[in-house]
Chains A and B, each alone.
Chain A
Amino acid sequence: MREIEVIEITKAVIELVRRANLLLRGDVLSALRSAYRTEKNKRPKTILKAILDNAAYAKTEKLAICQDTGMPVVFVELGQYLKINGDLKKAINKGIKDGYKKYSLRNSIVADPLLRGKPEFSPPIIHTDITGGNKIKLILLPKGFGCENKSQLKMFKPTAGIVEIKKFIVDAVISAGPDACPPYVIGVGIGGSADYAGIMAKKALLTKISVKNSKLEDDLLKQINKTGIGPMGLGGRSTALAVKIKKYPTHIAGLPVSVNISCHALRSASVIL
């Protein structure tokens, strides 16, 4: 059994906080550059230029790409042959709190959703999965709430057709319109249960944009980009940079579909220890 001390986990999480919040993902940058080339009109081009300049400026000046440094979501893939010495959850929480403080990010988390109160840096949401091996993988996705607010879930009938499902996904993007910082990346979870479809939709945002699309993903992307919403919702060809879908077996009585929209500042970072 391999062993690891929790202090190593905390240190790794602090570094993930820096990478995820100050550096835009390489695949997202490439997709934005390609969107810039695709746009023909001045307005969408100017906006995409500002988005690219913003990423460059954030990197040099060590500033957060977006002031909404999100609800930190941590995906843990824990190898069953790894022994962790100490409290894993506390170690992750501390890494988030210390990292957000260290890099002057935003304290956007209220302890009580109803009473609200003074915002803090933590806690994050932690999703844990058990895997083989003796390592631990930590993925941080700081999820801004302008786009999180546009998430949707629909429990379809098992007899629903693909046309209906596609319409639901495209309509979710249309209803987000200009509000959630397009061009978007659309995460979709199909199958499982209500809760699991939601997690899959969010996890789909971690898929590299450069990974080859399925036919369904391609069809959806084309349909979404035909809406003409465009960067900042002010018109253009690039309403979404990508559509990524995750699927899971489901029950004979149902067909859950969840849509999780990400703004163009799709940020995540991962490490294996």
Chain B
Amino acid sequence: MKKISTLKIGQEISFSGTIYTARDQAHKRMVEAIKAGKRLPFEIKDAIIYYCGPTQTPKGKIIGSCGPTTSLRMDEFTPLLLAKGLRGMIGKGKRSKEVRDAIKKHKGVYFVTYAGCGALLSRYVKSVKKIAYFDLGPEAISKLEVKDFPLIVAIDANGRSIYDKD
């Protein structure tokens, strides 16, 4: 996790470790839980969230197609999660200024991965465990163990963004 602060925008890395899937409704619930002083379904400190809602799992597979979804829909919930210790996010597309500022403040990182390549990305997932919000179907939170998952640094710990050409 120390290495995160040394990552630079545009850098390509292969990540091996634990990531948690969470998207729209899961974010809404987590933020509501924090505001109500309740526990989150996983340890948020130093965690990495993957904005992903996989397909159903075909027979004989570990996971179905599982690419990233558009990150900006999570922007309104992200600064609070970063304040609570969230370290990294994986998604696709731009983030708001508020998210960039929060990433800089809390020394986090935002990655993008190959968008619209959910079949290919399933190869890097070694195990899946649904852990919370089961009623949300594909939006439930799952704990994934991944190996050599391809990532591109899109916002680094200095708040610099890969999309910032302006």
Contacts and interface: CB of A to CB of B under 8 A. Distances in A.
Interface of A: 47, 50-51, 53-55, 57-58, 61-69, 101, 103-108, 116, 118-119, 144, 146, 149, 177-181, 232-234, 263-265
Contacts of B54: 67, 106
B135 A118 contact: yes
| 5 interchain residue pairs of minimum CB distance | A179-B93, A58-B119, A54-B117, A64-B65, A67-B118
B93 A67 contact: no
Given A58-B119, A181-B116, A63 B137 contact: no
Contacts of A63: 55, 58, 61, 64-65, 118-119, 122
Interface of B: 25, 52-59, 61, 64-67, 69-72, 92-94, 112, 114-120, 122-123, 135-139, 150, 152, 162-163
A178 B92 contact: yes
Chain B contact residues: over half helix, strand or loop, or mixed?
loop
5 contacts: A65-B119, A67-B138, A68-B118, A118-B137, A232-B112
A108 B138 contact: yes
Nearest to A119: B137
Given A66-B67, A105-B56, 16 more contacts: A50-B117, A53-B120, A55-B119, A61-B61, A63-B55, A64-B55, A64-B119, A67-B54, A67-B118, A68-B69, A104-B61, A106-B54, A106-B64, A146-B92, A177-B94, A180-B70
Contact of B55 (A53, A105, A177): A105
Contact of A67 (B25, B64, B123, B137): B64
Given A51-B116, A178-B92, A119 B139 contact: yes
A65 B160 CA distance: 32
B97 to A, nearest CB: 15
A118 B162 CA distance: 36
Contacts of A181: 92, 115-116
Contacts of B120: 50, 53-54, 57-58
B138 A51 contact: no
A179 B52 contact: no
Chain A contact residues: over half helix, strand or loop, or mixed?
loop
A69 B114 contact: no
A51 B116 CA distance: 7
A178 B94 contact: yes
A112 to B, nearest CB: 13
Nearest to B137: A119
A79 B153 CA distance: 53
A177 B67 contact: no
A53 to B, nearest CB: 6
A232 B94 CA distance: 10
A234 B118 CA distance: 19
Contacts of B67: 66-68
Contacts of B116: 51, 54, 65-66, 144, 181, 263-265
B70 A104 contact: no
Which of B54, B67, B117 lies at the interface centre, i.e. has the most chain A CB atoms within 10 A of its CB?
B117
A120 to B, nearest CB: 8
Contacts of B92: 146, 178-179, 181, 232
Which of B92, B93, B116, B139 lies at the interface centre, i.e. has the most chain A CB atoms within 10 A of its CB?
B116
Given A69-B55, A118-B137, A54 B69 contact: no
Contacts of A55: 119
B119 A104 contact: no
B119 A106 contact: no
A51 B115 CA distance: 8
A54 B67 CA distance: 11
B52 to A, nearest CB: 7
Contacts of A118: 135-137
Contacts of A232: 92, 112, 114-115
B138 A106 contact: yes
Which of B52, B54, B55, B162 lies at the interface centre, i.e. has the most chain A CB atoms within 10 A of its CB?
B55
Nearest to A265: B116
